[in-house]
Amino acid sequence: MTELTNKISNLLGRAAARRQISRAKRIPNTTDYIYLQTWLIIAIFCAFAAWVAFDNHIFHIMVETDKSHLSLVTIIVFLAASAHAAWHIAAAAKRIKAAYCYLDGNSDESFEPSDVPPSARTSVNLNESGPTFIGNFLRDVSDSHALSRSKKQDRPDSHVLEIYADQLRSPVEIGWFIVDLLVRLGLLGTIVGFILILRTLVDGPLPRADEIQSLLISMSGGMGTALFTTLAGLTTATLLGLQYMVLGRSVETLIASLIRINERTEADQ
């Protein structure tokens, strides 16, 4: 019985030691970059769809048929906005990882000594790597709490958190404006296409029965403009909306981490 008790004690001791080691050095978690991985899946799908369209000469037909060139403008705006979303998603993923590392007490995460309040310096590695997003947030929150204590306020102001949250949400708001812009470009192309069709009917002479085919061919330019701009606008708006939805979720996750950091800093002080 004594031997069994000793074995159980040894097993519990080794388990506790492993937990302490894991807390001292946080094992990288693949879920830290789940939003970036989701964006990569969307990007791979977009690249595959673009390859299929190119292989079937859809881009070539679109450029030749669209007289307004709005479909080409729509694709360029979509590519630029996709790069914008990718950059901010990658930045948010790094900041989420840094926030989780701070909350877990990871000693491998780097923060600038001057940016971190004294109460938080025990759980981070202070080196000369320069200021970070979390370090700047800790500095501003610490200054705000110190100002609240000097004013003898019962509850610290949440202005710092609101400012950071507004700063993080601004790229998402820009993204949804661009999504709406792509839809409007598609509708504008539809209107331009119908104007081209009406101009063909008004400018040309009244067709005879044997000229109906030539009339339909002359109207195809306006119809192609209307169809291709609508297709480009709706498709790009849908794919870009998925990307900014991922960015929005990553930003909200980061803001939730900042709220937890703010509460911990307030409790420490």
Q: What is the pLDDT along the chain (269 residues), one digit of tens a residue?
A: 555 455 545 554 554 545 444 444 444 455 668 899 999 999 999 999 999 999 998 888 888 888 888 999 999 999 999 999 999 999 999 999 888 888 877 544 444 434 444 444 434 443 333 358 888 888 888 777 677 666 655 555 568 888 888 999 999 999 999 999 999 999 998 888 888 877 766 665 555 555 555 555 566 666 778 888 999 999 999 999 999 999 999 999 999 999 888 888 776 65
Question: What is the per-residue pLDDT for 151?
Answer: 61
- Domain assignment present for residue 11? The answer is no
Q: How far apart are the first and last CA of the chain?
A: 49
Boundaries of domain holding 69: 35-268
- Domain assignment present for residue 28? The answer is no
Compute the distance between CA of residue 102 and CA of residue 268 in angstroms, rounded to an integer: 14
- Domain assignment present for residue 25? The answer is no
C-alpha 265: how far from its chain's center? Answer: 27
Question: What is the per-residue pLDDT for 223?
Answer: 79
Question: What is the per-residue pLDDT for 12?
Answer: 47
Residues 6+ apart with CB under 8 A from 197: 219, 222, 223, 226
- Domain assignment present for residue 138? The answer is yes
Question: What is the per-residue pLDDT for 185?
Answer: 93
What SS3 class is residue 91?
Answer: helix
50-84 exposure pattern, b = at least 16 Cβ within 10 A, e = fewer: eeeeeeeeeeeebeebbbbebbbbbbebbeebbeb
- Domain assignment present for residue 226? The answer is yes
- Domain assignment present for residue 59? The answer is yes
Question: What is the per-residue pLDDT for 197?
Answer: 76
Question: What is the per-residue pLDDT for 114?
Answer: 42
- Model-wide pTM > 0.85: no
Which pair of structure tokens corresponds to residue 2? 């004594």
- Domain assignment present for residue 1? The answer is no
How many distinct structural domains can be found in the chain? 1
- Domain assignment present for residue 17? The answer is no
